[in-house]
């Protein structure tokens, strides 16, 4: 089982694989270099980006994320409002303070190398960082950003005895690698899915530590929705995409304030849907703007779990913090199953792996909160993925904006529907969750590369033919930070 501490990470937008992962890689590079060498001997740094990281890295701020990592910042603790200030010495004076302390010359035009047509063997999201010393020695490390902010280096990727793509909790009390085992265990032990996951997490940590982390995740999600509801204007990158959450929020507040309104819902019986849309838009607009985000399980799909959790908070009668914890634990079980048996990376299997996975996670979690049995929860997850199968990753201009932002709103509604549909049933379903995960993996393998986060197919092509003025490059991302 993959830990909630790995599955839900606090990071920076707009992408977990193209922003958070590369920043983590830069951090790891500094750490490994310092373990073996003296940082003060470095005279130059070169960064090579391969495959999808090069194809859509400009739009995803991959370059600036690596630079921020080399400056010593971490996705979790960086103050996203200060990114432009952090980067200014590099952009204006071509000076990079490695780990914030050792200054070298660095020109983004000559020290960052883009190789969109070169795909390294292990994963389409690859990057290398090389440090050269005064004596001419070069230390190079290659990293793979495998989705959801997970990063592995070349040695791990080629190690024969491990599956580094799926870092797991070793020897948990309730081990499961597929949904069938999970269901059997829940039924034989009379446990809910969230109870199984909690027991496994507590194998390593005190329960208070687990709860503290879950509570923090929920706080960051709520802060993100609040921040998204307060910002309007145009998203960075050159597509001129308008932020919509603030205006929608004001409209919904106004309608809820009318005499015939009941709580947040006005006369319109489906107004809860509008609120769910709002929550997802708010998160994903913050993400597109480089804000603070919880990867859930990725940044591109980061709006779905918060949107459905806010739906639970605002529209279901039994909201409490214990319910939030259960929700996140159950969602983690589904994310773990998908990550271990297929992928949560858009570059590997398309958007079905990002938005589809988040939809399934939220659906199962909501089903449990509603009182669903483990069988009903797994049914909800299965519905959540099944109706996202084949979904391509084709962000226009490589920016996590169109169709990503709206897609999160659509999948949030779908997750709620999946939970309700499953809750009305008896848990029996024609296609098992394991089968649909396997199908997702196979569908992703069959999908042409142009539909897997390369911005070369689908809606992304629209940018090439209709939006000739889309801006790319470090300078754009610099201002977007």
Stretch that binds ligand SF4, among 218-226, 241-249, 316-324, 387-395 (CB under 6 A): 387-395
Q: Establish if 124 lies at the interface with ligand SF4 (CB under 6 A).
A: no
Q: Which two tokens stand for residue 263?
A: 């709580």
* SS3 state of residue 155: helix
Which one of 346, 374, 384, 444 is in contact with ligand SF4 (CB under 6 A)?
346
Q: How many residues bind ligand SF4 (CB under 6 A)?
A: 13
Which 8-state DSSP code applies to residue 461? H
Only segment of 87-95, 268-276, 334-342, 392-400 that touches ligand SF4 (CB under 6 A): 392-400
Q: Which of 45, 98, 198, 400 binds ligand SF4 (CB under 6 A)?
A: 400
* Binding residue (CB under 6 A) for ligand SF4 from 49, 220, 301, 363: 301
- Rounded to whole angstroms, how far apart are CA atoms 83 and 346? 26
Choose one: 168-176, 221-229, 378-386, 389-397; the region binding ligand SF4 (CB under 6 A).
389-397
Region 401-420 residues binding ligand SF4, contact defined as CB under 6 A: 404, 407
| Calpha distance 450→116 (Å, rounded) | 12
Q: DSSP string of 427-457? A: S--SS-HHHHHHHHHHHHHHS-GGGBSSSSS
Residue 10 lies near ligand SF4 (rule: CB under 6 A): no
Q: Extract the tokens encoding 234.
A: 């145009």
**d(C-alpha 300, C-alpha 121), whole Å:** 24
Query: Considering only residues 21, 69, 75, 300, which one is a binding residue for ligand SF4 as defined by CB under 6 A?
Result: 300
Q: Which is nearer to ligand SF4, 106 or 150 (CB)?
A: 150
The residue among 248, 231, 336 whose CA lies nearest residue 289 is 231
Closest CB 301 distance from ligand SF4, rounded Å: 5
Minimum distance from residue 299 beta carbon to ligand SF4 (Å): 8
453 touches ligand SF4 by CB under 6 A: yes
Q: Using CB under 6 A, which of the segments 86-94, 161-169, 399-407, 438-446 binds ligand SF4?
A: 399-407
The H or E element that residue 11 is part of is strand 9-12
Tokens 């303070």 belong to residue: 97
Indicate the residue among 169 and 302 with the shorter CB distance to ligand SF4. Answer: 302
Q: How far is the CB of 22 from ligand SF4 (least distance, A)?
A: 15
CB nearer to ligand SF4: give 42 or 301: 301
Per the CB < 8 A criterion, the answer to whether 408 and 302 are in contact is yes
CB of 13 to ligand SF4, least distance (A): 11
Q: Residues 300, 16: contact at Cβ < 8 Å?
A: yes
Q: Is 393 near ligand SF4 (CB under 6 A)? A: yes
Task: Give me the least distance between CB of 355 and ligand SF4, in Å please.
Answer: 5
β-sheet bridge partners, residue 125: 51
Residue 293 pairs in a beta bridge with 11
In the block, tokens 């308008």 appear at 242
Secondary structure E strands in 31-179: 42-50, 95-98, 102-105, 112-115, 125-133, 138-147, 150-153
Q: Is 281 in the site for ligand SF4 (CB under 6 A)?
A: no
Instruction: Rule CB under 6 A: say whether 297 interacts with ligand SF4.
Output: no
Q: Is 24 in the site for ligand SF4 (CB under 6 A)?
A: no
Contact between 397 and ligand SF4 per CB under 6 A: no
Using CB under 6 A as the binding rule, whether residue 355 contacts ligand SF4 is answered as yes
DSSP reduced 3-state for 4: helix
Question: Closest by alpha carbon to 176, among 382, 368, 2?
Answer: 2
Q: Is 57 in the site for ligand SF4 (CB under 6 A)?
A: no
Q: Tell me which stretch binds ligand SF4 (CB under 6 A): 3-11, 135-143, 152-160, 349-357.
A: 349-357
Task: Give CA–CA dist 67/100, Å, rounded.
Answer: 11
Given a contact cutoff of 8 angstroms between Cβ atoms, the answer to whether 294 and 10 are in contact is: yes
Residue ranges that bind ligand SF4, judged by CB under 6 A: 300-301, 346, 351, 354-355, 393-395, 400, 404, 407, 453
């Amino acid at each position: 089982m993959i830990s909630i501490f790995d599955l839900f990470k606090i990071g920076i937008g707009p992408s977990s694989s193209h922003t958070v992962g590369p920043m983590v890689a830069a951090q790891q590079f500094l750490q490994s270099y310092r373990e073996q060498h003296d940082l003060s001997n470095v005279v130059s740094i070169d960064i090579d980006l391969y495959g999808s990281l090069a194809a859509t890295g400009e739009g995803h701020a991959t370059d600036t994320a690596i630079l921020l990592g080399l400056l010593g910042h971490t996705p979790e603790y960086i103050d996203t409002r200060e990114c432009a200030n952090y980067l200014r010495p590099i952009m204006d004076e071509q000076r990079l303070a490695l780990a914030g302390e050792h200054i070298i010359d660095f020109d983004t035009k000559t020290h960052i190398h883009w190789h969109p047509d070169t795909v390294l063997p292990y994963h389409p999201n690859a990057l290398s960082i090389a440090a050269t010393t005064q004596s001419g020695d070069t230390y190079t490390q290659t990293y793979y950003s495998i989705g959801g902010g997970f990063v592995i280096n070349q040695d791990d990727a080629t190690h024969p005895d491990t599956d580094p793509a799926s870092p797991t909790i070793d020897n948990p009390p309730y081990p499961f690698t597929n949904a069938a085992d999970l269901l059997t265990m829940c039924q034989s032990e009379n446990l809910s899915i969230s109870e199984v996951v909690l027991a496994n997490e507590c194998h390593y940590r005190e329960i208070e530590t687990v709860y503290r982390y879950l509570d923090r995740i929920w706080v960051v999600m709520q802060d993100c929705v609040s921040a998204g509801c307060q910002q309007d204007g145009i998203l960075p990158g050159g597509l001129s995409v308008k932020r919509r959450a603030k205006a929608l929020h004001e409209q919904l507040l106004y309608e809820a304030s009318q005499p015939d309104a009941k709580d947040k819902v006005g006369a319109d019986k489906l107004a809860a849907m509008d609120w769910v849309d709002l929550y997802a838009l708010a998160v994903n607009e913050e993400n597109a703007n480089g804000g603070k985000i919880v990867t859930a399980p990725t940044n591109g799909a980061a709006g779905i779990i918060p949107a459905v959790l806010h739906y639970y908070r605002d529209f279901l009668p039994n909201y409490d913090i214990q319910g939030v914890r259960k929700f996140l634990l159950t969602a983690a079980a589904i994310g773990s199953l998908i990550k271990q048996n297929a992928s949560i990376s858009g570059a590997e299997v398309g958007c079905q792996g990002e938005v589809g996975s988040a939809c399934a996670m939220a659906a199962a979690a909501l089903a449990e909160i509603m009182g669903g049995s483990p069988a009903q929860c797994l049914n909800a997850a299965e519905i959540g993925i099944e109706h996202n199968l084949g979904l391509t990753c084709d962000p226009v201009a490589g920016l996590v904006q169109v169709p990503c932002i709206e897609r999160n709103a659509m999948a949030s509604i779908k997750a709620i529907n999946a939970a309700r549909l499953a809750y009305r049933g008896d848990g029996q379903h024609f296609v098992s969750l394991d089968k649909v995960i396997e199908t997702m993996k196979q569908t992703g393998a069959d999908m042409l590369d142009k539909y897997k986060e390369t911005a070369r197919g689908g809606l992304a092509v629209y940018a090439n033919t209709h939006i000739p003025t889309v801006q790319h490059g470090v300078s754009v991302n610099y201002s977007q930070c």
